[in-house]
């Protein structure tokens, strides 16, 4: 009977309102990469080929970017094949070893950008570079950070890690932090053989490592067989379903050449559930209502086609 069909429609409507979604495809997938491109030891016209080959990347966090020319090359490479406009945020510190964020501006709105100058010991290395981003489709906001910590000064690196932990404790938004942290996590014995900075940064699980299931050295080195490049999550980002992998080496990655970077890129994928209407903005809520109404119209059409 027609009444029974409308009972089904009403039940579906209630289910949509309660769950906020009837399709797993409405979950947001976020793919980010951290990559040390080895300023002064690589050819940016070779490195950008690797960047262009990696597809479906939403945000890049680069370290050791030599200058604005390198940044422009990497922005163009990030756009290659993506069908989207990518925009760059270039750090101001580090001299010829700067930090760079490149993100999909069709998907994210840049709320603000800033550098944490108090986490740059005596101004000698690089201040953490942060982009406060908002997913335009849902209103979800988060911080994306790229770091490159002190290599040659253990005490300064450990202090940077402590300060990063302290900074994150005072935030409320989700945080994704990529970069070259120089924590020397030994590939085979990392639980007991790693730099103290790792412990300082992850103290009290303020940050958690989005750990790849298979570890390999992330830098070509005759001395170390360790992970230097990490992706961390803090606050709500820790609850997002996250996975990561250390990507395949570039051609001639090791032994190191003057063409390719001596580091491997690290990729992380996060699955974000849509925020509840209470946490979204007006535009996001209206867009969500429009999607739900469209799906209900399709379902109503299907039900009307059922036999009496």
* Pure H helices in the chain: 2-19, 44-53, 68-79, 154-169, 196-202, 282-304
Query: Which pLDDT does position 34 carry in this prediction?
Result: 98
Residue 198 has pLDDT above 60, yes or no: yes
Query: Which pLDDT does position 25 carry in this prediction?
Result: 41
Query: Which pLDDT does position 274 carry in this prediction?
Result: 55
C-alpha dist (Å) from residue 78 to 50, 69, 73, 83: 10, 14, 9, 10
Query: Which pLDDT does position 64 carry in this prediction?
Result: 98
Query: Which pLDDT does position 254 carry in this prediction?
Result: 78
The model carries a pTM of 0.81
pLDDT tens, position by position, 47-90: 999 999 999 999 999 999 999 999 999 999 999 999 999 999 99
Q: Are 46 and 287 in contact (CB under 8 A)?
A: no
Nearby residues of 84 by Cβ (< 8 Å), 6 or more positions away: 104, 105, 106, 107
Average pLDDT score, the chain: 87
pLDDT tens, position by position, 128-179: 999 999 999 999 999 999 999 999 999 999 999 999 999 999 999 999 999 9
């Amino acid at each position: 009977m027609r009444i029974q069909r409308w009972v089904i429609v009403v039940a579906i409507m209630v289910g949509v309102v309660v769950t906020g979604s009837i399709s797993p495809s409405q979950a947001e997938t976020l793919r980010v990469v951290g990559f040390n491109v080895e300023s002064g030891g690589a050819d940016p016209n070779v490195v950008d080929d690797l960047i262009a080959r990696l597809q479906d990347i939403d945000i890049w966090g680069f370290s050791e970017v030599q200058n604005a020319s390198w940044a422009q090359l990497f922005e163009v490479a990030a756009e290659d094949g993506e069908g989207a406009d990518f925009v760059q945020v270039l750090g101001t510190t580090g001299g010829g070893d700067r930090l760079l964020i490149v993100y999909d501006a069709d998907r994210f709105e840049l709320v603000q950008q800033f550098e944490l100058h108090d986490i740059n010991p005596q101004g000698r290395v690089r201040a953490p570079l942060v982009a406060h981003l908002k997913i335009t489709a849902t209103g979800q906001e988060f911080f994306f950070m790229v770091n490159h910590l002190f290599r040659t000064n253990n005490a300064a690196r450990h202090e940077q890690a402590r300060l990063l932990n302290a900074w994150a404790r005072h935030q409320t938004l989700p945080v994704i932090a990529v970069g070259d942290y120089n924590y020397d996590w030994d590939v085979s014995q990392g639980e007991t053989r790693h730099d103290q900075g790792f412990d300082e940064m992850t103290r009290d699980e303020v940050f958690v490592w989005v750990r790849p299931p298979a570890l390999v050295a992330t830098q070509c080195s005759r001395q170390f067989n360790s992970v230097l490049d990490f992706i961390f999550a803090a606050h709500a980002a820790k609850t997002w379903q996250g996975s990561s992998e250390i990507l395949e080496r570039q051609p001639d990655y090791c032994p190191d050449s003057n063409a390719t970077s001596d580091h491997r890129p690290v990729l992380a994928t996060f699955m974000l559930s849509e925020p509840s209407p209470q946490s979204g903005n007006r535009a996001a809520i209206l867009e969500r209502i429009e999607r739900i109404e469209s799906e209900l119209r399709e379902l109503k059409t299907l039900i009307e086609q059922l036999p009496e």
